[in-house]
Amino acid sequence: MSPPAAGCCHVTGFKVENWKQNLRAIYQCFVWSGSAETRKAKAKSCICHMCGAHLNRLHSCLYCVFFGCFTKKHIHEHAKTKRHNLAIDLLYGGIYCFMCQDYIYDKDMEQIAKEEQRKAWKLQAFTPTVVSHYQCTMTGIGEKYSTWEPTKRELELLRHNPKRRKITTNCTIGLRGLINLGNTCFMNCIVQALTHTPLLRDFFLSDRHKCEMQSPSSCLVCEMSTLFQEFYSGHRSPHIPYRLLHLVWTHARHLAGYEQQDAHEFLIAALDVLHRHCKGDDNGKKANNPNHCNCIIDQIFTGGLQSDVTCQVCHGVSTTIDPFWDISLDLPGSSTPFWPLSPGSDGSVVNGESHVSGTTTLTDCLRRFTRPEHLGSSAKIKCSGCHSYQESTKQLTMKKLPIVACFHLKRFEHSAKLRRKITTYVSFPLELDMTPFMASSKESRMNGQYQQPTDSLNNDNKYSLFAVVNHQGTLESGHYTSFIRQHKDQWFKCDDAIITKASIKDVLDSEGRSPCQTSRGGRPRKEEASLTQQLDH
Q: Quote the pLDDT of residue 494.
A: 94
How much is the pLDDT for 382? 80
- Cβ atoms of 534 and 480 within 8 Å: the answer is yes
Q: State the Cα–Cα distance between residues 87 and 103, nearest whole angstrom.
A: 9
C-beta of residue 478 within 8 angstroms of C-beta of residue 536: yes
Of residues 345 and 90, more confidence is placed in 90
Give 351's pLDDT tier (boundaries 50, 70, 90). Answer: low
pLDDT value of position 170: 73
What confidence category does residue 404 fall into, taking pLDDT thresholds of 50, 70 and 90? very high
Burial class (CB in 10 A: 0-12, 13-18, 19+), 446: exposed
Q: How confident is the model at residue 133 (pLDDT cuts 50, 70, 90)?
A: very low
Residue 224 has pLDDT above 90, yes or no: yes
- Comparing 184 with 474, the larger pLDDT belongs to 184
Residue 147: predicted pLDDT: 45
Highest mean pLDDT among 164-168, 207-211, 294-298: 294-298
Averaged pLDDT for residues 78-107: 90
**Is the model's pLDDT at 492 over the cut of 90?**
yes
Neighbour tally for 238: CB within 10 Å:
18
- Decide: residue 534, CB within 10 A, 0-12 exposed, 13-18 middle, 19+ buried: buried
Give the pLDDT confidence of 300-337 residue by residue, as tens digits: 999 999 988 888 878 888 888 899 998 988 877 665 65
What does the alpha-carbon distance between residue 485 and residue 268 come to, in Å, rounded to a whole number? 22
Per the model's pLDDT, the better-predicted residue between 415 and 281 turns out to be: 415
pLDDT of residue 468: 93
Q: Which of 39-53, 268-282, 482-496 has the lowest mean pLDDT?
A: 268-282
- Give residue 247's pLDDT band: very low, low, confident or very high (50, 70, 90): very high
pLDDT for res 234:
81
pLDDT band at 346 (very low <50, low <70, confident <90, very high): very low
Q: Please, which pLDDT band fits residue 495 given cuts at 50, 70 and 90?
A: very high
Task: Assess whether pLDDT exceeds 90 at residue 171.
Answer: no
Q: How many residues does the chain have?
A: 537
More confident residue, 481 or 44: 481
Q: Residue 45 corresponds to which amino acid?
A: S
Which of 126-140, 323-337, 347-361 bottoms out in mean pLDDT, i.e. has the lowest?
A: 126-140
Q: In this predicted structure, what is the pLDDT of residue 18?
A: 85
Choice between 481 and 290, residue whose per-residue pLDDT is larger: 481
The CA distance from 460 to 401, in Å, is 10
What is the predicted pLDDT for the residue at 165? Answer: 63
Q: What is the DSSP secondary structure assignment for residue 31, as one 8-state letter?
A: I
- pLDDT confidence of 459, banded at 50, 70, 90? low
pLDDT at residue 190, rounded to an integer:
94
CA–CA distance, 223 with 226 (Å, rounded to integer): 5
Between 343 and 319, whose confidence is greater?
Answer: 319
Query: Is pLDDT at 141 greater than 90 in this prediction?
Result: no
Q: Give the per-residue pLDDT at 353.
A: 52
**Domains contained in the chain, CATH given:** 9-125 (3.30.40.10), 184-278 (no CATH)
Q: Which of 46, 226, 19, 2 is nearest to 136 (CA)?
A: 226
How much is the average pLDDT of 434-444? 80
pLDDT value, residue 516: 45
Q: Say whether pLDDT at 503 is over 60.
A: yes
Residues with a known catalytic role? 185, 479
Residue with the bigger pLDDT between 482 and 283: it is 482
Please report, as a single letter, which amino acid is at residue 173. Answer: I
pLDDT tens-digit series, residues 378-403 = 778 888 778 778 888 888 989 999 99
The arithmetic mean of pLDDT across residues 195-208, rounded, is 89
Mean pLDDT over 242-264 rounds to 87
Query: Which of 326-335, 459-468, 500-509, 521-530 is modeled with the greatest confidence?
Result: 500-509
% of residues, the chain, pLDDT over 90: 24
Mean pLDDT of the chain: 77
Q: Which of 225, 520, 285, 525 is nearest to 405 (CA)?
A: 525
Beta bridge mates, 306: 321, 397
Cα-Cα end-to-end distance for the chain:
19
User: At residue 136, does pLDDT exceed 70?
Assistant: no
